[in-house]
A = this chain, B = another copy of it.
Amino acid sequence: MSLRGLGVDPRCRCIETESRRIGKHIESVELFPPNSHCKDTEIIATLKITGKEICLDPTAPWVKKVIEKIIANKAP
């Protein structure tokens, strides 16, 4: 779940992360480096069709693989 747009900035955007491997449903992925509002990197995926925003765990191997695939010019 992402708190983005709910008027709770400046804080961390993610309160929980998705554990299921939802790579195939991802339309885009946004990466937020650590900053003064949130000490940990946050990754928010936007899903195809629904446009729903889902927080991903930056430490999960499958999330790293999804990002590596995208950088390598492949669909996740």
Copy number in the complex reads 2
- The answer to whether B34 touches A28, judged by C-beta atoms less than 8 angstroms apart, is no
Interface of A is mostly: mixed
Residue tally, chain A, CB below 8 Å to B: 24
Q: Which of B27, B41, B75, B76 contacts A70 (CB 8 A)?
A: B41
Q: Which of B27, B34, B43, B74 contacts A74 (CB 8 A)?
A: B34
Task: Given A41-B70, A41-B71, A58-B71, check contact A33 B64 (CB 8 Å).
Answer: no
**In the bound complex, how far is the Cα of B13 from the Cα of A27, in angstroms?**
14
**In the bound complex, how far is the Cα of B40 from the Cα of A34, in angstroms?**
28
**A residues whose Cβ falls under 8 Å from a Cβ of B:** 26-35, 40-41, 43, 58, 64, 67, 69-76
